[in-house]
Amino acid sequence: MSSIRISRACRSYGSVQAVNDVTLDIHDGEFFTLLGPSGCGKTTLLRSIAGLERLDSGRIVVGDQDLARVPVHRRPLGMVFQNLALFPHMNVDQNVAYGLRARGVSRAESRARTADALDMVALGGLGRRQVAELSGGQQQRVALARALVTEPRVLLLDEPLSALDLQLRQQMQVELKRLQQRVGTTFVFVTHDQDEAMAMSDRIAVMNGGRVEQVGTPDELYQRPASRFVADFVGDSNLLDGVADAQNGKPTLVGAGLSACLPRSVPPGQQVTLCVRPESISVDAAAPDHDCRVRGLVTASVYRGSSVRLFVASEADFEFLVDVATAHGGVPVGSTVELSWRSRDSWAVTENVPSDDGMALH
């Protein structure tokens, strides 16, 4: 069952097409993320759902209610803004209860629901505090409680974690996902941070230039990118551009100064982008089923805790990104190494259309 159906949505600002023919079904009770770079249209689409922007054409339906003529304050939605928009002259209880008072809820019921909402976000007992007395994470929870206390069918979140420092942001990602699972409300979350989207989402819509490039689970987007843009934006990738050929009866990519086996048959002469994730590449440890190999020079290495990121220049000066486990020991800069991987651990994209068999799932 769909919480939200967006059909052929379009929104322009002058000559700029901010949202361009977007169609999406967001399922009831899921954590759904709109992901993309600045200017891709994700916030405009979210604000259109909220009623803060008006579509030029298309429909947005929540449940069985077409929102075209529904004013903002009557939509079955809650929203958490990037700047939180808390009232500094009100205490925590007053901030959370604001939406209830606006809806004419009795004082007794408002007190009870406010207390329940604060307990839900682990702020019970802090209702009399002033907003300025709270930490950034606590203020974030107040904004969530204020949005959830009205029991919206859908909660819209516009990059609400972006102002937090890294450690707190990661902590809030876990708490936000747990909260969504506990209350069962549909969350629609906007972010430009791929790691944030991958950590929390049931499904993600990757947007680019006002359009949706791909919708899928985090695993599907990472393992089976539908376009070169998705392969490049979601996670780190080695993107090898070339032309399909056949060598020794195997489909092969020829380009970037190397030949690499393709994971599927592609007509000879077809332009192809081959996506290989850094963790799929081995260094000087080619197994019998590693049918793609290339030699290169280690030009730099970056320590990343559990892994080391190597930068390896091939003989044709294509720079590979390779992740090796720290436990395996370092590879000195200046070393000549052989890189190898299995073609089934890569993914071929031709003219922005993904392969049929795809990258192997690990």
CATH number of the domain that residue 293 is part of: 2.40.50.100
Is the pLDDT at 262 greater than 80? The verdict is yes
Same domain for 210 and 136: yes
The domain tally of the chain equals: 2
Mean pLDDT of 40-56: 96
Mean pLDDT of 294-318: 92
pLDDT value for 30: 97
Assess whether pLDDT exceeds 90 at residue 164. Answer: no
Contacts of 181 (CB under 8 A, 6+ apart): none
Beta strands 336-341 and 282-283, pairing class: antiparallel
| Domain finish residue from 178, 193, 228 | 228
Query: What's residue 351's pLDDT?
Result: 61
| pLDDT the model gives residue 354 | 44
> Both 131 and 266 in a single domain?
no
Calculate mean pLDDT across residues 6-13. Answer: 97
**What average pLDDT does range 35-46 have in this prediction?**
96
Question: Does residue 361 fall inside a structural domain?
Answer: no
Confidence (pLDDT) at 217: 98
222 and 257 co-located in one domain: no
Q: How confident is the model at residue 253 (pLDDT cuts 50, 70, 90)?
A: confident
Q: Is the pLDDT of residue 103 over 90?
A: no
112 with 217, same domain?
yes
Q: What is the pLDDT of residue 233?
A: 95
Q: Which residue has the tokens 């809030």?
A: 172
Q: Which of 191, 207, 228 is the last residue of a domain?
A: 228
For the ranges 102-116, 228-242, 281-295, the lowest mean pLDDT is seen at 281-295
Percent of the chain with pLDDT over 90: 65
91 forms beta bridges with 130
Give percent of the chain with pLDDT exceeding 70.
95
Q: In this structure, are 201 and 264 located in the same domain?
A: no
| Residue 341 pLDDT > 70 | yes
In a domain, 360, yes or no: no
Q: Residue 321: give the domain boundaries.
A: 237-354
Per-residue pLDDT, averaged over 346-352, amounts to 78
Distance separating alpha carbons of residues 247 and 260, to the nearest angstrom: 10
pTM confidence score? 0.89
Q: How far is CA 354 from the centre of its chain?
A: 19
Q: What is the pLDDT of residue 200?
A: 95
- pLDDT bin (cut points 50, 70, 90) of residue 44 is very high
Residues 44 and 174 in one domain: yes
The mean per-residue pLDDT over the stretch 133-149 comes to 91
- Do residues 160 and 217 share a domain? yes
Residues 223 and 241 in one domain: no
By residue count, the chain amounts to: 362
Residues 91 and 117 in one domain: yes
Distance from C-alpha of 239 to C-alpha of 207, rounded to nearest angstrom: 19
Same domain, 51 and 158: yes
pLDDT band at residue 1 using 50, 70 and 90 as cut-offs: low
**At 299, is the pLDDT very low, low, confident or very high (cuts 50, 70, 90)?**
very high
Q: 198 and 271 share a domain?
A: no
So what's the pLDDT on residue 358?
42
pLDDT averaged over every residue in the chain: 90
Mean pLDDT along residues 81-90 = 88
Domain assignment present for residue 359? The answer is: no
The residues, ordered by sequence, that sit 6+ positions from 33 with a Cβ below 8 Å of its Cβ are: 188, 189, 190, 191, 197, 200, 201, 203, 204, 205
Q: What is the mean pLDDT of residues 158-176?
A: 88
80: domain CATH number is 3.40.50.300
186-234 per-position pLDDT tens digit: 999 999 999 999 999 999 999 999 999 999 999 999 998 999 999 999 9
The pLDDT value given to residue 327: 80
Q: Is 70 part of a structural domain of the chain?
A: yes
Average pLDDT of the segment spanning 69-76: 90
Look at residues 181, 196, 228 and tell me which one is the last residue of a structural domain: 228
pLDDT digits (tens, 9 = 90+) for 116-125: 999 999 899 9
pLDDT (tens digit per residue) in 234-243 = 999 999 888 8
122/44 same-domain check:
yes
CA distance 61 to 5: 5
Q: Is the separation of the CB atoms in 100 and 113 below 8 Å? A: yes
Q: Is the pLDDT of residue 250 over 80?
A: no
How much is the average pLDDT of 121-145?
91
Taking alpha carbons only, the member of 210, 215, 234 closest to residue 223 is: 234
